[in-house]
Structure 1
Amino acid sequence: MLADIAAVVWGFAIGGYVLPRDESVAHALLQAQMLIPLFLTVALYNSSYSIRALRDKFSGIILPLQALAVAALGVALLAYLAKTGGDYSRLVFVSGLLVSAIFLVPARLAMYGFVRWSCGNRVENILVVQDGGPPLAIDDAYRVEARAAGFTPVLNDPVALDHLSRWFEPMDRVIVSCADDKRFAWAQALKGLAVEGEVVDQTVSRLGALGARRYGANGSLLVSHRPLGLRMRALKRLFDLALTIPALILLAPLMIVVALIICLQDGGPALFIQRRTGRGSRFFSVFKFRSMRVDQADASGEQSASRTDLRITPIGRFIRKTSIDELPQLFNVIKGDMSLVGPRPHAMGSQAGDKLFWEIDERYWQRHTLKPGLTGLAQIRGHRGATESESDLVARLQSDLEYLDGWTIWRDIGILLLTLRVVIHERAF
């Protein structure tokens, strides 16, 4: 914290010094005095001074820079509301911010190096006690065998508890891996040792538990949650509508022409409507331009299209190659069934090899926690087209699950931009 304060003070001092006005340094230091309290407040809340910032070099640099940017916006807003903006030099303020940001980076790198020099890779003291339970793989943790160290969680033996306490007192966390019949004794012992203690329970791993809750005398394991909070869902929806509505207006002439050509080619309907699985594993009707002959359309999706598929019409082959057949799904986005970016929706009969998708990997249904998308992480990585083997499905699923983990609006923007490279694709047939 002291290093960050020094970086801001020196940053504003130098930023003011390089300007021609005589009073620039004093003026810059006055602005630094206004900025620092707000900067420290934001930095404390965004974890700039946390174990995470010590453990991860990138976080240790980015977090204080974010705090500096937010604090600068706060100072600017306060100056505007107080109508004192004219009393302060914008040039001094901007130059001070830039130099402060430049100073923060080497200051944080030096702190990171100092921590590594003084503490090694251990920024936390974690002790793993093995007492007959499954072995734990935790990087840089201390490990000890309970029997060899004489650890016994005997609640009616003060000497045994004193022995445990002297071992555990320097530790930030103590994790005990023991047999099932010892879990309760270890839990009770840890509660009286003034330590952050954990007892391994393999049920947590088997169920994929995310946390625990208590309801009176009963407990429960939290095994699922909504992937996005209300604000993030609203942001994603607004983003979809902001792009989809103009896109529909711009693409309307093209879509009308394509629909007419499809109808004139064989007299069949322009749209192909198929039931697919969407958010929350609920069915919805997806819209596509029909690319196959009317009497050979595959409503269940059991047979993936191939490069030499005789079911595909001449215009169908073109619109599939250029991904134009997917454009009606913009109406699915308007309806709220789909999003611009997300896991692609699959037909119920879709197979990889000779197995249905959900028979291949037990994680398959987890991909439906978000709305399906017109494009996704799997698509920009080239995982599209026929699923000829189980590995094809696993590769797509892995990308879908990766997308669900830590959604941001910036990732959606990046995926949309990268999608432009794969609109025309060798596996789009």
Structure 2
Amino acid sequence: MSAFDVRDILKSAAAQADAATAEPSRAAPAAVPPAENLVPPRRGPVLSPVVLVGSVRLIEAFLVAAVGFGMHLWLLHGLVPFKPVYAVAILVLAGLNLAVAQATGTYGIRAFRAFFSVGLRIVLGWSLVILLSATILFFAKLGDHYSRLWLAGYYLAGLVVLLAERLILSLVISGQMRRGRFDRRTAIVGGGPPAETLIKALEAQSDSGIRIVGIFDDRGDTRSAGVVAGYPKLGTVSDLVAYARNTGLDLIVFTLPISAEARILQMLAKLWVLPIDIRLSAHATKLRLRPRSYSYLGSVPVLDVFDKPIADWDVVVKGLFDRVVGGLLLLLFAPVMLVVALAVKLTSRGPVLFRQKRYGFNNELIEVYKFRSMYADQGDAAASRLVTRGDPRVTPVGRFIRKTSLDELPQLLNVVKGDLSLVGPRPHAVQAKAANTLYDQVVDGYFARHRVKPGVTGWAQINGWRGETDTSEKIQRRVEHDLYYIENWSVFLDIQILAMTPFALFKTENAY
């Protein structure tokens, strides 16, 4: 969720428009090398430190528990039966080890890389866990319930396994960091001394994970230097939108003072459509808030302006939900899809599937599958002309499957492939129009709906905004519902939308 209301930002920015256009035009920034020459391309997707740390916790808890079960099987098999008291002890030891490891600071990217210093804390922590457990067993007079051989073997084997796991982890993480897989590619907005101060503070932290790509500033060269702290000025804020989409940017940090409200709002009105984090630097400001009011880039304080709508574990959860539920729905509807495919094939010439380029996440073009509903020689892949009631281009079978949304079922293949989510803003064709005007020209901030992966169904569709968009009001309302979904996303909202979708399909007055 954003710290600001999007609509307020747009209104405030619009109120500044007249004043902005009255200013003399500023000089264009000096030409700079292409972005790919300044920053090497990232190999593979960026890895989330939050997900990594959580995964390591789960792995270590599993390893500690597995060692406990394994040592009982190896040392006591046929001698001492495996009783519930052993299972309870193993789970308690695994939980205690997690708590001690967390308290000793062994979870974090920096800790994962430093094997020798952290390894000592691992030894001390696991020793403390076993010692504490043995002490509790002694004073509670429960020692007779457990084998001393098992406890000693558990300690030694657990130590070896934990150290081996951390050694492997340090080698893997170090290699991935050299490849930039944990880097947060960061653009600085605003130049001058504030930007230079911020950059130096970030660079002083070798393990912050921040990779600065350059400076963006709306001021001309006479007021803003072409190079700040060794980083080139790559363009204006308008250039930053295209740059962020094309080069995999993760973070934008404003170095403008909070008092420059008008400038900040005008810039945010351009940048909020991007699926990235936006922060306002508090490093050099005189305003002092409570420490909890800030988030931090390493130790550098910043104020949160916009967050990625879906990040870290949410990405994992939504991805698993899409793949698992999407795969099950694909199996469930396979007989129906077979019948529809036969009906399309037998009643008109041409392919069964219709492939169309549409906007996906971050404005990337994806190929979406549908059952063909038009005559093959009259298909409109660019959607330059809306389908209307009684449209002669639509086949008789096509009219039925469009009205019932059966033509959308092949998009479950897109879900399994990862191009689409089950739930999200519906993907629109590149040339889709409302009242003969392209969608992005009708709705301010239209591309903000692409901050998440598009979906087969969505909040707008179950609220009646599906089908023909022959007026600007219809697409406006659809986008408003899409933005509501993005700003309020949860797995439970996805489940609610999926559950309501079959009922929404009965409302066919706008589906042609």
Structure 2 CA distance for aligned equivalents of residues 337 and 349 of structure 1? 19
Q: Which has the higher contact order (CA 8 A, sep 6+)?
A: 2
User: Is 1:255 the counterpart of 2:337 in the alignment?
Assistant: yes
Structure 2 CA distance for aligned equivalents of residues 308 and 426 of structure 1? 12
Q: Is the radius of gyration larger for structure 1 or structure 2?
A: 1
Structure 2 CA distance for aligned equivalents of residues 393 and 309 of structure 1? 20
**What is aligned with 1:202?**
262
Secondary structure, counterpart of 1:243 in structure 2: helix
**What is aligned with 1:88?**
none
User: Is 1:397 the counterpart of 2:479 in the alignment?
Assistant: yes
**Aligned letter for 1:371?**
K
**Aligned letter for 1:426?**
E
Secondary structure, counterpart of 1:274 in structure 2: strand
**Aligned letter for 1:212?**
L
Deviation of 1:328 after TM superposition, in Å, equals: 0.1
- CA displacement 1:163-220 (0-9 Å, x = unmatched): xxxxxxxxxxxxxxxxxxxxxxxxxxxxxxxxxx974622232223753126889999
Deviation of 1:258 after TM superposition, in Å, equals: 1.0
**What is aligned with 1:383?**
465
Structure 1 CA distance for aligned equivalents of residues 342 and 445 of structure 2? 42
User: Is 1:342 the counterpart of 2:424 in the alignment?
Assistant: yes
Deviation of 1:385 after TM superposition, in Å, equals: 1.1
**What is aligned with 2:509?**
426
Which structure 2 residues correspond to residues 14-163 of structure 1 after superposition, within 5 A? none
User: Is 1:241 the counterpart of 2:309 in the alignment?
Assistant: no
**What is aligned with 2:207?**
none
Percent identity, aligned pairs only, is 41
Secondary structure, counterpart of 2:431 in structure 1: coil
Deviation of 1:321 after TM superposition, in Å, equals: 1.0
Q: 1:301 to 1:221 in 2, by over 3 A?
A: farther
Deviation of 1:240 after TM superposition, in Å, equals: 1.1
**What is aligned with 1:141?**
none
Structure 2 CA distance for aligned equivalents of residues 335 and 272 of structure 1? 17
**What is aligned with 2:446?**
364
**What is aligned with 1:211?**
279
**What is aligned with 2:404?**
322
Question: What is the count of residue pairs matched by the alignment?
Answer: 234
Structure 2 CA distance for aligned equivalents of residues 263 and 271 of structure 1? 10
**Aligned letter for 1:413?**
I
Q: 1:225 to 1:281 in 2, by over 3 A?
A: farther
Structure 1 CA distance for aligned equivalents of residues 305 and 437 of structure 2? 27
Structure 2 CA distance for aligned equivalents of residues 230 and 412 of structure 1? 18
Whether the 8 Å contact between 2:466 and 2:511 is mirrored in structure 1 is yes
Whether the 8 Å contact between 2:356 and 2:368 is mirrored in structure 1 is yes
Q: 1:219 to 1:205 in 2, by over 3 A?
A: farther
User: Is 1:301 the counterpart of 2:369 in the alignment?
Assistant: no
**What is aligned with 1:22?**
none
Secondary structure, counterpart of 2:357 in structure 1: strand
Deviation of 1:395 after TM superposition, in Å, equals: 0.4
Stretches of structure 1 that go unaligned for 5 or more consecutive residues are 1-81, 83-196
Whether the 8 Å contact between 1:204 and 1:221 is mirrored in structure 2 is no
Deviation of 1:313 after TM superposition, in Å, equals: 0.5
- CA displacement 1:93-117 (0-9 Å, x = unmatched): xxxxxxxxxxxxxxxxxxxxxxxxx
Deviation of 1:269 after TM superposition, in Å, equals: 0.6
- RMSD between aligned residues: 2.5
Stretches of structure 2 that go unaligned for 5 or more consecutive residues are 1-136, 138-256, 273-277, 286-299
- CA displacement 1:131-162 (0-9 Å, x = unmatched): xxxxxxxxxxxxxxxxxxxxxxxxxxxxxxxx
